[in-house]
Amino acid sequence: MAATVVHDPMSALAEVAVQTFDVVLTDIQMPGMSGLELLGELRSRAPGVPVAVMTAFASVDYAVEALRRDADEFLVKPVGAATLVEKIGALAAEGRRRREAAVPGETVLAVGAHPDDVEIGVGATLASHRAAGDTVVVLTLSSGSVGGEVNARRHEALAAAAVIGARLYLHDFEDTRLDPAGGLIRTIEETIREVAPTIVYTHSVHDRHQDHRAVHQAVQVAARRVPSLLCFQSPSATVEFRPDTFVPVDGFVETKLQMLAAFESQAHRDYMEPDLVRATARYWSRFGTGRFAEPLETVRIAALISGTGRAAGLAAADDGARLRHDETGGHR
């Protein structure tokens, strides 16, 4: 059995974001975050992975909290080597069984014009998809040379994708001059053939930025056979952006902020500020459920997506919510 050893909880979460593990073994007393807090994070980010918690402090409180957080095993040191190998081996086998028995999830493709577009629009939604076990692919069509140094923006995009374990396809179409007929449609079609998405997220047509509108138009053509197509809000969206689907993202806004923090070259922009990101998600929740939501315009949506009960289920606004939005003018 191969093992990956890390020395702090944040490193463990980083590894879980980019690798699939059969089992996780953690101590309780660790720097920055306790093993019990790590257990809670693992349950949201890698829900099917068995977790064993180990401690030298035989405490009823620790045991109860580990049980409450759904630990698969609670071990009190000292633990003999043979016993540890036996228990961890059994949990690893259980982890493999769970993974093999898991129902295949959605395959999600998020298409953006520039680095950070997708993360701003649906970062929390993508994080919720990953927590539900869905495959997430980010397709960024320009390296964003007008907004910063190309290599820096490439590295930032890779770092942001790594936060949730998404695959990144990054192209180098000329920034501010994207054209559906200039290769965009073909490139998006090639990606769709390769990853076979069941859900596509992209820019809204109601946007001041010409690249965003171009990508929207290209996706409309390239994703014509994808079951679900929805459009997200960008900072440059116009007042004509009128969402009718509000994805509940409670528990995933902070992950979105981690993704946005990767874009250090864009940190000076107002719309990257954490308080504005949180406030925006809080505002849109008034039309959906929960305390935070991300808004989407629906082009089409497969019936199986709404109401599935998955962490990433798309919560379409009911008629009452839509009526309230129309009567109050919503965000307009």
Among the candidates 80, 101, 122, a domain finishes at 101
Q: Tell me the Cα Rg of the chain.
A: 21
What residue type is 302 in one-letter code? A
CATH number at residue 202: 3.40.50.10320
- Whether 181 and 314 map to the same domain: the answer is yes
Give the pLDDT confidence of 54-100 residue by residue, as tens digits.
Answer: 988 777 777 777 777 788 888 888 999 999 999 999 999 998 888 77
Number of domains the chain is built from: 2
Instruction: Give the model's confidence band at 282: pLDDT under 50 very low, under 70 low, under 90 confident, else very high.
Output: very high
Question: Which of 10-14, 283-287, 290-294 is least confident?
Answer: 10-14
Q: What is the per-residue pLDDT for 129?
A: 94
Residue 103: per-residue pLDDT: 63
Here the tokens at position 240 are 């004509």
What percent of the chain shows pLDDT beyond 90?
Answer: 64
Residue 197 and residue 129: Cα distance in Å, rounded? 13
pLDDT (average), residues 296-313: 61
**What is the span of the domain harbouring residue 59?**
9-101
Are residues 54 and 118 located together in one domain of the fold? Answer: no
pLDDT digits (tens, 9 = 90+) for 123-168: 999 999 999 889 999 999 998 888 778 899 999 999 999 999 999 9
Q: Is the peptide bond before 78 cis (omega within 30 degrees of 0)?
A: yes
Residues 44 and 171 in one domain: no
Q: State whether 88 and 181 are in the same domain.
A: no
- Position 61: which residue type? D
Of the three residues 101, 127, 159, the one that is the final residue of a domain is: 101
Write down the mean pLDDT value for the chain: 87
Asked if residue 2 belongs to a domain, the reply is no
Query: In Å, how far from its chain's centre is CA 228?
Result: 17
Looking at the structure, do residues 16 and 145 belong to the same domain, yes or no? no
The pLDDT tens digits of the residues spanning 180-234 come to 999 999 999 999 999 999 999 999 999 999 999 999 999 999 999 999 999 999 9
Confidence (pLDDT) at 44: 82
